Amino acid sequence: MSSELIINVTSLETRVALMENGSLAELHIERESDKGITGNIYKGRVTRVLPGMQAAFVDIGISRSAFLYVVDVYHNNKVFDGVMNGVSEVPLDMEQNEKLADEQTSRPNYPIEDLITEGQEILVQVVKEPIGSKGSRISSHISLPGRYLVYMPMVNHVGISRRIENEAERTRLKEIVQRIKPPDVGFIIRTASEGATEEEILMDMDFLVRLWDNIQKRTRYAPVPSLVHEDLSIALRAIRDLYSKDVTRVIVDSRKTYESILEFSETFMPELKRSVELYDSEEPIFDAFGIEVEISRALGKRIWLKSGGYIVIEETEALIAIDVNTGRFVGKGNPDDTIFKTNLEAVKEIAYQIRLRNLGGIIIIDFIDMAKENDREKILQAFKEALSKDRAKTTILNISELGLIEMTRKRVRENLSRKMGEPCPYCEGRGSIRSTPSLCYEILRAIRREAMNNLGNNIIVLVHPDVATFLYDEERNGIEELEKQIKKKIIIKIKDELHHEQFEIYSQ
């Protein structure tokens, strides 16, 4: 599979597109006005402990307090105090460290009120961006990603990416890391390390260890709250996290960013240097690669399939619903075959849209009902295979008798529609506005109430132009009849700046 990284840089915004076989697979956006903070490390202060929720709020110096769950609290006080005081080496026995590594993904036995207290200073890392009204999620389990490794300075554990499937390669890499790593620290071997030499891994490891030493020194003297380590720019993060042996080109339209990528590659990824190109054409880079069209399509609610079927994506507060419909596709034979083919085509598009739009949380997919159990199983397996390229963690349940697939996808940042859109000022996120006829009937009722409560001879009604047209054309007889009943003159006036659903009524 051939891939390309396309990087568009302006003074206000940087966009990174991952193209796979000519199609947009992932889009990452960072604006100067709201730069992402995932991966940043802060020295913060606990402002409130919530025993009932087994969580705490921490002031890290941004607009909203960050949220710390009990599972994300590092609970070896001896080591933690050493980190806060700039001590780089605090011995831990092997058995204790292995236990800590296991507990990173399970709830510890300690209640949060026994681990931290209000007013306590704490070193934390942002693991999830603020989303909607929710503050960022933080963890005191610090991890520092490199090109080949992720460094875990507080845990003695060596893990390896599940995406490296070759057992011989897995064994080779784990043996290298276990042999050369410093004592009492941990590493996760990243997918990019497949095929890497011991020298390359050692270079990455040395850089991460030095980086952690510098962070500890800054932490010791940093005020509270404050930022003590900022992650790489989005362009360099994309190089670090998205670049692989499948990426044939990295094309960037900014000379400054181009030079920073070359400098980064000299230190960490020498093989990347020959793949980086500076784009200097007059045509905007995202237009040249057809990316702008793909972005517009990714913001739509309805996505048409080549067969004539379509899928509809609805986002709600609690979950995301995806519906599959046959649309114009009627098939040529057995209805069961038509349904199966539509569902199979929808599987690939749904997996593509979930990844591109960065949809997360609970996702319910309503496939067209299939009578055959064998067809349902084929659709489920096809869907799992289509999602295998997704780097985000997903959990997929079996397809139900109603043709539903329930799944979850890890959400660490805002999805594309939240990043690039905002609630409609007319419908306020409802997805629809009051129809003109129903609005006009409400206005007529309001006129009757105004006439009862006021003594003026005229009733003045200010409305949106579309509503005024309907009242003049369709409801003229109704207005004349109402004038006879209330014995007052009704005067309709246009007010352009009014919202479609707004109106003003007063007596004169």
Question: What confidence tens digit (pLDDT) does each residue in 421-441 have?
Answer: 777 777 766 777 888 888 888
- Residue type, position 36, single letter: G
Q: What is the pLDDT of residue 87?
A: 39
- What average pLDDT does the segment 394-409 reach? 88
Tell me which architecture the domain covering 3-34+236-292 has in CATH. 2-Layer Sandwich (3.30)
Q: What is the pLDDT of residue 100?
A: 40
- pLDDT, tens digit, 9 for 90 and up, residues 170-222: 999 999 999 999 998 999 999 888 888 898 899 889 989 988 999 999 999 89
- What average pLDDT does the segment 7-20 reach? 91
| The dihedral formed by the CA atoms of 44, 49, 51 and 55, expressed in degrees to the nearest 10 | -30
Determine if the peptide bond prior to 225 is cis (ω within 30°).
Answer: yes
- What average pLDDT does the segment 375-385 reach? 91
Backbone CA torsion sign across 476, 478, 484, 490: negative
Q: How many CA atoms lie within 13 A of 496 on its CB side?
A: 0
Q: What is the pLDDT of residue 62?
A: 85
Report helix angle 291-298 to 335-357, nearest 10.
Answer: 110
pLDDT at 307 over 80: yes
Are residues 161 and 188 in contact, defined by beta-carbon separation less than 8 angstroms? yes
Instruction: Catalogue the E-assigned strands of 35-147.
Output: 41-50, 55-59, 66-69, 121-128, 137-139, 144-145
- Where does 41-229 sit in CATH, by number? 2.40.50.140
pLDDT at 81 over 90: no
Domain definitions of the chain by residue range: 3-34+236-292, 41-229, 299-420, 436-507
Q: What is the pLDDT of residue 109?
A: 65
**Whole-number percent of the chain with pLDDT over 70:** 91
Average pLDDT value over all residues in the chain: 84
Q: What is the pLDDT of residue 1?
A: 65
- What average pLDDT does the segment 482-501 reach? 88
Tell me which architecture the domain covering 436-507 has in CATH. 3-Layer(aba) Sandwich (3.40)
Two tokens, residue 383: 């869907």
Are residues 214 and 151 in contact, defined by beta-carbon separation less than 8 angstroms? no
pLDDT band at 253 (very low <50, low <70, confident <90, very high): very high
pLDDT at 314 over 80: yes
**Residue 16 φ then ψ, to 5°:** -120, 125
Helix (H, G, I), strand (E, B) or coil at 303: strand
Q: What is the pTM of this model?
A: 0.70
pLDDT at 262 over 50: yes
pLDDT at 64 over 60: yes
Q: What is the pLDDT of residue 96?
A: 35
- What average pLDDT does the segment 292-309 reach? 86
pLDDT at 25 over 50: yes
- What average pLDDT does the segment 266-279 reach? 84
pLDDT band at 106 (very low <50, low <70, confident <90, very high): very low
